[in-house]
Amino acid sequence: MSRALTRIAHEILERNKGAADLVLLGIPTGGVPLARRVAERIAIVEERPVAVGSLDVTMYRDDLRMRPPRALLPTEIPAGGIDDKVVVLVDDVLFSGRTIRAALDAMNDVGRPRAVRLAVLVDRGHRDLPIRADFVGKNLPTALDETVRVRLGEIDGADDVTISGGAA
């Protein structure tokens, strides 16, 4: 996981030609600690901090009525905002694309970035929407009936990625 996040940080810096006007927004829950970890790696290379925050997408989801209710998590936009910045959305797993669509809608309420990029730790395929990650830690082809779980030290006390379920 560490190597994947370091690679993502370097790829972001290459694509952006440095950290100028860069904002990382993690999507709760897993994306927030991942965004912070990537920001730490970028700060080491650039020798200056990178703006990092969180963007809760719960109320923007199109499947809200089909899921059990969940508590809203904080949206924390860095002090400089996101207007005319390059925003990198960070999430743990990219699956159908619906969470990212919701994040794009949520960003409309907080500002107008110059560009939006997507970084994910795991891309498991099976998109319902035409969304593609710009930066991917690992592509994990899965069956639709399998579940990918990312555990992070900040939340779960350990770092790992597991695949469960599927036909026996």
Mean pLDDT in residue range 23-46? 97
Residues 6+ apart with CB under 8 A from 62: 98, 101, 102
**Residue-level pLDDT at 168:** 56
Alpha carbon 16 to its chain's center: 17
Residue 57 in this model has a pLDDT that exceeds 60:
yes
Mean pLDDT in residue range 12-19? 98
Q: Which fold has domain 2-142?
A: Rossmann fold (3.40.50)
Q: Any idea where the domains of the chain sit in the sequence?
A: 2-142
| Rounded alpha-carbon distances, angstroms, from residue 151 to 29, 33, 47 | 11, 11, 29
**Residue-level pLDDT at 71:** 75
The average confidence (pLDDT) of the chain is 94
Asked if 86 and 56 count as a contact pair (C-beta separation under 8 A), the reply is: no
* Among 23, 24, 27, 21, CA closest to 103: 27
The model's confidence at residue 82, banded by pLDDT at 50, 70 and 90, is: very high
